[in-house]
Structure 1
Amino acid sequence: MKIASCETHIVANPPPHVGGMYWIFVKLRTDDGLEGVGEIYAATFHPKVMVHAIEDVFERLLQGENPHHVERFFRRAYSSGFTQRPDLTMMGIVSGMEMACWDIIGKAAGKPVYELIGGRVHDKLRTYSYLYPVDRKGGYDYNNLDLAVECALEYMEQGFTALKFDPAGPYTDYSGHQLSLEDMDRSEAFCRRIREAVGNKCDLLFGTHGQMTPSGAIRLARRLEQYDPLWFEEPIPPGNSEAMARVADHTTIPVATGERLTTKYEFHNLLQAGGASILQMNLGRVGGILEAKKIASLAEVHYAQIAPHLYNGPVGAAASVQLATATPNFLVQESIRQWDGFHAEVLEEKLEWRDGYIIPSTKPGLGVTLNMDVVKAHSPYHDKKLHLSMSDTPHDFKSQSDTSWRDTPEAK
């Protein structure tokens, strides 16, 4: 069995773009007709550039190769250009192609991938979702505290036992910074009101995306500890493991991080420094399923758990499900609501979500099939925006602090 061809599909995610502006799917086909699909999460360059990079990696490193040889493929790609170090874009491409290889391997064996990487440990996977508070116009208003509370109660009734929200202020290229007192007041109010609403039926997951300095993160954490969040997510930028460890050492809230890291080497540094007790690898960035399994094993040695990150399409989610199902130290899987909307439309059959849990598929490979009519109808992506972006101006306390959350009677 040899890999014969590769297709790349840049699928535009319709408004309101939940899960990013677009999804990068790759489809590999073998000389005997088996197909495998994967998803690339790396978003450093525009998709027009990524398409050519994907073609280059395929032609140099994967075309004509046996799809079972994922270790060989990883090492050749990791060392490409005399690097032998984590390269974000290369590892993103490897991740998607490696997923597609595993999809083929599973189909050839007639087994789900999780049965080939250690076997099923979990019969169902606990999930969480960001809160998506809908306003009267049908859009999302993330700063409206009353709507956030209503959304939290709605998700709890659906079966979610963990809820994530991120009220700490805007993301900027110039983070980390000290939060304004207004930002900290808002963050504390969100935790207080949502905790009062859900009681002990749901864990609170406090999300940030590296907005703060270590000292600023510690200031905020002290305010939030009384509401007992399950985690404090990526409180500072991801480049300095020792700095992340300083935050972890000064709060009782477990630190979760890792969505922007890649390969076992970066996660090893984080664990060695004591920077996190919950790892949030994204399988479309870290190097694929096998690399993520190695990271999970490193975490196990440190008595840390994994909570795979997912803010992209459903193929990356299906790969995360395979990993989580076979991982003893799995904590919780990020979902995007119940995998409805466009996440369901782009598949022949949606991911199974039931009463707060993902039910792992028993189908061979990753267990998902792209609906190519939908894929083609939303390809290619023409916008100039990347998958996710930050503000390109520094944080301005006066002009960027949003006080609309104070307009509700309960918040005054």
Structure 2
Amino acid sequence: MPRITDYDLYEVPPRWLFLRIETSDGRVGWGEPVVEGRAHSVRAAVEELMESSLLGEDPHPVADHWQVMYRGGFYRGGPILMSAIAGIDQALWDLRGKAFGAPVSELLGGPVREKMRVYQWVGGDRPADVGDAAAAKVEQGFSALKMNATPEFGRIEHPAAVEAAVDRIRTVRERVGPEVDIGVDFHGRVAKSMAKRLAERLDPYDPMFVEEPVLPEHNEALPDIAAHTSTPIATGERMYSRWDFKPLLEQGVVDVIQPDLSHAGGITEVKKIADMAEAYDVALAPHCPLGPIALAACLQVDGVCHNALIQEQSLGIHYNEGSDVLDYLADPAVFDYHEGFVDLPDGPGLGIEIDEAVVEARAGDVDWHNPVWRHDDGSVAEW
């Protein structure tokens, strides 16, 4: 019986944490356990879980390991613990797939699609020049885009700030035409007092969805916001378990959920969340502004979920300075985007091969933290 014999953690640019787990029979599994800007905290949680629950154990019973990591502690949930569990879970599934010589999607019942639609980010944190950027991405073959709606946004904003946000969406729509989808991310920057007004004003430009129109701690406001717009509502990147998603689905106003495979408990948990959502006729669009391991894990789940709508991916995103998704892959062609789609990885495990030499060379103390923004009066703004 194989045993888990060793593990290593690598902080790599631009802001990722990779986990490598090795077994007694020479297999290696990779995961991506990270909270962007809190890599050191997640590293400590991974080390604690590996040392207390996994070293010396058979890697194959992935579901049981998940339960031990989650239920083996009196205090549960939250971004740090669930992200640590997520990355370990990804690595265990990678090991299991390699043991059977099959991609994870085959172990989950087999894929329901051959390829997955993806979208490409345009603009930046403070969106600018979005028209030209959108046109360039469409020229590259992408049929769906996403952009931030606003920079900092006050609780009650003046009409010019609202009009500036509307003008950015209008500009993109006019440049790319009606056959390209545009996701608009409120990023939790818009208070509920303005979310209704802004969402309603965007309706004429037919967004694919408005994302995180309010912070998840204010999800009770979603029915009121939904009543002011015909645009689908998406949220979920800052929710970490099926129990977080349960009341959201019961509300009946969300159209797209966006759990993150590196934050919401990994493959094991997100597959369950996706199945719950399907019962409520809610689509799945996993959040993934992260690295190649997280993206591969997303695509394995997308492949087996009929309600998977579209996949975020971070190639060329404004966060990726110095390193990008393909840099860490032995075969970058596994993520060869074509006509707005990517084929499902069909290699064993997660379906990718990490270039360990590149990981070793670039690993170090990567001290990335999101900026702290402030309003004109000096108070902290939502980033």
Task: Give the conservation status (yes or no) of the 8 Å contact 2:103–2:349.
Answer: yes
- Mapped to 2, the partners of 1:254 and 1:43 lie a distance apart of 27
Of 105, 114, 118, 2:109 maps to 118
Tell me what 1:38 maps to: 31
Tell me what 1:55 maps to: 47
Tell me what 1:407 maps to: none
User: What pairs up with 1:141-156 in 2 under 5 angstroms?
Assistant: 143-144=127-128, 147-156=129-138
Tell me what 1:219 maps to: 197
Tell me what 2:361 maps to: 377
How big is the shift at 1:27? 0.7
Task: Give the conservation status (yes or no) of the 8 Å contact 1:44–1:89.
Answer: no
- Quick one: structure 1 residues 337 and 201, their matched pair in 2 at CA, closer, same or farther if it must change by over 3 Å? farther
Of 18, 36, 39, 1:25 maps to 18
How big is the shift at 1:399? 11
Amino acid corresponding to residue 26 of structure 2 in structure 1: G
Task: Give the conservation status (yes or no) of the 8 Å contact 2:4–2:55.
Answer: yes
Amino acid corresponding to residue 122 of structure 2 in structure 1: L
Amino acid corresponding to residue 368 of structure 1 in structure 2: I
- Mapped to 2, the partners of 1:334 and 1:131 lie a distance apart of 12
How big is the shift at 1:153? 1.1
Q: Deviations over 1:41-95 (max 9, x none)?
A: 32463x3343332211101111122222222222222224312x42321110010
How many percent identity over aligned positions?
34
Tell me what 1:169 maps to: 151
Secondary structure of 2:194's counterpart equals helix
Query: What's the TM-score once normalised by structure 2's chain length?
Result: 0.91
How big is the shift at 1:284? 0.1
How big is the shift at 1:142? 5.1
- Mapped to 1, the partners of 2:49 and 2:89 lie a distance apart of 12
- Mapped to 2, the partners of 1:9 and 1:34 lie a distance apart of 18
- Quick one: structure 1 residues 188 and 398, their matched pair in 2 at CA, closer, same or farther if it must change by over 3 Å? farther
Tell me what 2:286 maps to: 308
Query: What's the TM-score once normalised by structure 1's chain length?
Result: 0.85
Secondary structure of 1:51's counterpart equals helix
- The reply to whether residue 5 of structure 1 matches residue 10 of structure 2 is no
How big is the shift at 1:198? 1.2
Tell me what 2:96 maps to: 105
- Quick one: structure 1 residues 24 and 71, their matched pair in 2 at CA, closer, same or farther if it must change by over 3 Å? same
Task: Give the conservation status (yes or no) of the 8 Å contact 1:114–1:326.
Answer: yes
- Quick one: structure 1 residues 283 and 201, their matched pair in 2 at CA, closer, same or farther if it must change by over 3 Å? same
How big is the shift at 1:397? 7.9
Task: Give the conservation status (yes or no) of the 8 Å contact 1:167–1:183.
Answer: no
- Quick one: structure 1 residues 3 and 398, their matched pair in 2 at CA, closer, same or farther if it must change by over 3 Å? closer
Equivalent pairs counted in the alignment come to 374
Structure 1, unpaired ranges of 5+: 14-21, 133-139, 402-412
Task: Give the conservation status (yes or no) of the 8 Å contact 2:126–2:150.
Answer: no
- The reply to whether residue 206 of structure 1 matches residue 184 of structure 2 is yes
Task: Give the conservation status (yes or no) of the 8 Å contact 2:315–2:324.
Answer: no
CA RMSD of aligned residues (A): 2.3
How big is the shift at 1:269? 1.6
Task: Give the conservation status (yes or no) of the 8 Å contact 1:248–1:274.
Answer: no
Of 77, 82, 88, 2:69 maps to 77
Amino acid corresponding to residue 315 of structure 1 in structure 2: I
- Mapped to 1, the partners of 2:158 and 2:288 lie a distance apart of 29
Of 191, 194, 210, 2:169 maps to 191
Secondary structure of 1:125's counterpart equals strand
- Mapped to 1, the partners of 2:303 and 2:297 lie a distance apart of 10
Task: Give the conservation status (yes or no) of the 8 Å contact 1:122–1:325.
Answer: yes
Secondary structure of 2:216's counterpart equals coil
